[in-house]
Structure 1
């Protein structure tokens, strides 16, 4: 056997295969929305309140109205991030394709299986800085890229929230929405002025942790259908879903991913 010939042939095959592998790795899956759910686990959130938050997200993805949106053809890549202080962020559930009622239920189960990683200060700006680049290094290409922040307090540590919000929007994130759990004085205004940003963005407050379940269902529903005005009922939203118009645009995720490689 002429090993030099064999080696040359194998090398040539490798060179021919390399572009195909690179192209396969660089081709993201198209989805309607990339949605990052940023959940506050700072020290002001006690164990009962954390469990109410987590269960609220579980219930949202098990909700029949939200599942009907996915069943109608909506696709999403969704990740869950627990955050607290300046250097305390954890991607508890990685980017996951949700495009059916069954996959929504499966995603709910992934959230239910997570545990609390932190209990420190409140660094919303640092959490936004943490997640924003990850939109451009995942395996998905969303028509819209949305950050969803929930929490019960204003920033008291880490990166400036307004600066982080503006930087994320400048980077290419379309929308940052807030769900403040009220109680702290001025919290609603803080979220509206420092967290919320981007065309069509909104702040959906919850009066207490007990109200979080209903608030997060409404918030995720609005995000899935493009941030349209909140419907009176979930039934109305589902009935009108097919009539909602969208201005669709795809980013060149390959170029952006190179930037953050």
Structure 2
């Protein structure tokens, strides 16, 4: 039995180079990470989901996917809230035709909508790192696309997990949703969420933030961001908005980060200076709110 196990291990080791070479090359591996914390109600959660479905069905996005160097990308979609609450709705899926893109959106549209409690962007990033590690395709680029309406207030520090992702050459883009109402627990909205995402969440060469001015604005924002990510345009205020009219002021906070040089592996250098209020501002605000209102701090 021991000899058989050793033989099986040897055969797997010998087969590994061939298996690695058989991985289909794709222009982009894109992981979509969507906030379902308690500050988002079921109607808003459905608006987010429908925003992604509409965006992937948009003819301009379809063209961008199919007109790349390889004419295909790989996409995964998961929802997140608490530090250890992440739900993978659609595992890595190859989008290499209009039919494949439609099938992906149908799977996404049919998945149940759920809501949880806390906001752990760090937990979402931690979940995404091994998700990229087991991607069955060979991407030219790896992008984690995080959308949410609040700063990190659960789990580890977001900057620590961002650093771990950047070490794996995963670029992180952000889509903060400027939600102007308090959440069901009375926690106030965060007027500086766009700046928090820019300085504390996003990172990597040509990373950027695209701001949704509310949940009704989410479909426009995700369409624009997908176009930039798929086409590898980086931050571009002039991307076509599909007849939706001029973009609201502050819709995008862009950086002028350069492309990495060929073979450059150190993505950890592509971050902005730390936010002036500190990248632990979400944790501090959460503790202060619960202490002031209930005399306790959350677990």
Structure 2 length as normaliser, TM-score?
0.70
Q: Distance between the aligned counterparts of 1:250 and 1:117, measured in 2?
A: 41
Counterpart of 1:160 in structure 2 is 157
Residue correspondence of structure 1 range 151-230 to structure 2 within 5 A? 151-173=148-170, 175-183=171-179, 184-228=190-234, 229-230=236-237
Between Structure 1 and Structure 2, how many residues are aligned? 231
Question: 2:92 matched to 1:88?
Answer: no
* Cα distance, 1:235–1:206 mapped onto 2, change above 3 Å: closer
Q: Distance between the aligned counterparts of 1:34 and 1:166, measured in 2?
A: 19
SS at match of 1:207: coil
Residue correspondence of structure 1 range 8-27 to structure 2 within 5 A? 21-27=15-21
Which blocks of at least 5 consecutive residues in structure 1 are unaligned? 1-13, 237-245, 252-261
Question: 2:39 matched to 1:67?
Answer: no
Residue correspondence of structure 1 range 100-119 to structure 2 within 5 A? 100-119=97-116
SS at match of 1:154: coil
Counterpart of 1:255 in structure 2 is none
Question: 2:43 matched to 1:36?
Answer: no
Asked if the contact 2:40–2:115 (Cα under 8 Å) also holds between the matched residues in 1, the reply is: no
Which blocks of at least 5 consecutive residues in structure 2 are unaligned? 1-7, 180-189, 244-258, 265-299
* Cα distance, 1:101–1:230 mapped onto 2, change above 3 Å: farther
SS at match of 1:163: helix
SS at match of 1:48: helix
Alignment RMSD: 2.8
Q: How big is the shift at 1:185? A: 2.0
SS at match of 1:155: coil
Q: Distance between the aligned counterparts of 1:249 and 1:96, measured in 2?
A: 27
Q: How big is the shift at 1:172? A: 2.1
Q: Distance between the aligned counterparts of 1:232 and 1:204, measured in 2?
A: 12
Q: How big is the shift at 1:17? A: 7.3
SS at match of 2:210: coil
* Cα distance, 1:26–1:118 mapped onto 2, change above 3 Å: farther
Q: How big is the shift at 1:26? A: 3.2
Structure 1 length as normaliser, TM-score?
0.80
SS at match of 1:233: coil
Deviations along 1:80-105, whole A, 9 cap, x unmatched? Answer: 01000011011110001112222211
Indicate the structure with greater helix content: 1
Asked if the contact 1:35–1:145 (Cα under 8 Å) also holds between the matched residues in 2, the reply is: yes
